[in-house]
Chain A
Amino acid sequence: MSIALESITLTLAHYRLDVTLAMSARTIAIFGPSGAGKTTILELIAGLRTPDAGRIVLNGRDVTNVPPRLRRVGYVPQDDALFPHLSVRRNITYGGPLQSDVVDVLELAPFLDRGVKQLSGGEKKRVALARALLSRPEVLLLDEPLAGVDAELRTRVLEYLLRVRAAFAVPMLYVTHQREEVEAIAEEVVVLDRGRITGQSAVADWREMNPPPVASRWSNT
């Protein structure tokens, strides 16, 4: 996968996002505190926001002015944004036909025909993942998938994410403010603070380096 954000700027409520970034690993984490602009970057890549200036290039294709429906990104927002009036089956097949491997890996079979309102937090996350995967995206955009999930469930959702990473070839861009998640899932990490990139390296190198004080402060939050 290659994702390039070339001189992307966007004025936000409290600061101006100004990012130039080229990413090519299969699993990349964008790491930074709340309000750093992480979600905004995912929304820019998904086409749900338009930058003030700059170019977004996905796998060599300039998608800056391409509508979201043609970008081929699988977006899993933090709140899942499942369609509340549709069953699990109709949610996950909204963007593409049912595939048994996705249903198997995410263990969706027991509740395929249930309404999404009846699902637990962890189940909803799996449905959102399946919905994104079945649209056959070129990249999965995961916005803090473990946020708001209790500790026990975190481990389980993380297991599902690792299974998805192992079973499907789709690259992932993973946004988080948790250091452990970066280490558990990503190969490359981009550090973001108040709309600026403050670091980018392989996760192995990042781990070895003494973590910057600002990063270690987040590690236990």
Chain B
Amino acid sequence: MSATELQILGLTLRTAALATLLIVLPGLGIAWLLARHRWPGKSLVETLVALPLVMPPVATGLLLLELFGRRGPLGRWLHAAGVDVVFTWRAVVLAMGVMSFPLLVRAARVAFEEVNPRLEGLARTLGAGNVRVFVTITLPLAARGIVSGMLLAFARAVGEFGATILVAGNIPGRTSTLSLAIYNLVQLGHDGEAFRLLLFAVAIAFAAVFIAEAFLRRRAA
């Protein structure tokens, strides 16, 4: 593996892992609220959360660029605080996180819905408050589904292209992830090198999906 390939692979894995970790808490929170509660605006939130799945990734990227650009409503505020997002590795993480979020929420929601609410109710009769019920009953029983969702979200993040290229650009050595590098190499006619990276992409995706499925099978057993 060449130094460039190593750098591309390292950047991709690091940013995808960070994006996945960053969406875990909000993702679990929203998934739990969607699975266990009725509240006003629930359908709206459900739709908003699913949007990145169905919207063109480039459109999501454009939206993020507008929001987080130096003159954007969030970007202006972040810039004032000394944090620039667009065209940096942070934008890569942002695009990956936004695009992977629906997958994590969906998997976690199904996992929470599969936990028998009677077990949670019974734990309450034994003196447990909401936090203890969540930590000792709901979360462990939903864990396999959640981990499987995290792996799928990670795999999606690794493959992210459309939103990333808009909001992070395609800067070799800085924001050029596996997908973007493959695109670059093909554009330049370096198909052989592109195929080498393709093999890495396939291996990562295969491993993530395989492990995720294994987790789900263990849950069903």
Contacts from A to B (Cβ < 8 Å): 46-48, 67-71, 73-75, 77, 79, 81, 83-85, 94-96, 131-132, 135
Interface pair A69/B118, CB less than 8 Å apart? no
**Minimum CB–CB distance for B220 against chain A, Å:** 13
Contact of A94 among B118, B121, B128, B129 (CB under 8 A): B128
Any chain A CB within 8 A of the CB of B211? no
Interface pair A68/B141, CB less than 8 Å apart? no
**Complex Cα distance A69/B123, Å?**
8
**Minimum CB–CB distance for A173 against chain B, Å:** 13
Interface pair A74/B123, CB less than 8 Å apart? no
Chain B residues, CB < 8 A from A83: 119, 123, 137
Most chain A beta-carbon contacts within 10 A, residue among B116, B118, B121, B129: B121
**Complex Cα distance A83/B140, Å?**
10
Contacts from B to A (Cβ < 8 Å): 116, 118-119, 121-129, 136-137, 140-141
Chain A residues, CB < 8 A from B118: 48, 77, 79, 81
Chain A residues, CB < 8 A from B119: 81, 83
Report the 9 A-B pairs with minimum CB-CB distance, sorted nearest first: A95-B126, A68-B124, A48-B121, A75-B125, A81-B122, A135-B126, A68-B125, A69-B127, A69-B124
**Complex Cα distance A77/B118, Å?**
9
**Complex Cα distance A116/B118, Å?**
17
Grouping DSSP codes into helix (H, G, I), strand (E, B) and loop, the A interface class, with mixed when no group exceeds half, is loop
**Complex Cα distance A75/B120, Å?**
13
Contact of A48 among B116, B125, B137, B140 (CB under 8 A): B125
Contact of A47 among B124, B128, B137 (CB under 8 A): B124
Interface pair A74/B125, CB less than 8 Å apart? yes
A94 touching B123 in the complex, CB below 8 Å, given contacts A69-B128, A69-B129, A81-B116: yes
A135 touching B127 in the complex, CB below 8 Å, given contacts A81-B118, A81-B119, A85-B140: yes
Interface pair B127/A95, CB less than 8 Å apart? yes
Chain A residues, CB < 8 A from B121: 46, 48, 68
Chain A residues, CB < 8 A from B124: 47-48, 67-69
Task: Please name 17 pairs of A and B residues whose Cβ atoms are closer than 8 Å in the assembled complex, sorted by A.
Answer: A48-B124, A67-B124, A69-B125, A69-B126, A70-B127, A75-B122, A77-B118, A79-B118, A81-B118, A81-B119, A81-B122, A83-B119, A84-B141, A94-B123, A96-B126, A96-B127, A132-B126
**Complex Cα distance A74/B128, Å?**
13
Chain A residues, CB < 8 A from B127: 69-70, 95-96, 135
**Minimum CB–CB distance for A159 against chain B, Å:** 25
**Minimum CB–CB distance for A82 against chain B, Å:** 8
Interface pair A71/B137, CB less than 8 Å apart? no
**Minimum CB–CB distance for A124 against chain B, Å:** 13
**Complex Cα distance A46/B129, Å?**
15
Interface pair B137/A46, CB less than 8 Å apart? no
**Minimum CB–CB distance for A103 against chain B, Å:** 17
Q: Which residue of B lies closest to A67 (CB)?
A: B124
**Minimum CB–CB distance for A46 against chain B, Å:** 5
**Complex Cα distance A70/B129, Å?**
9
Contact of A85 among B126, B129, B141 (CB under 8 A): B141
Given contacts A48-B121, A69-B126, A131-B126, 6 further A-B pairs with CB under 8 A are A47-B125, A48-B125, A81-B118, A83-B119, A83-B137, A95-B126
**Complex Cα distance A68/B126, Å?**
8
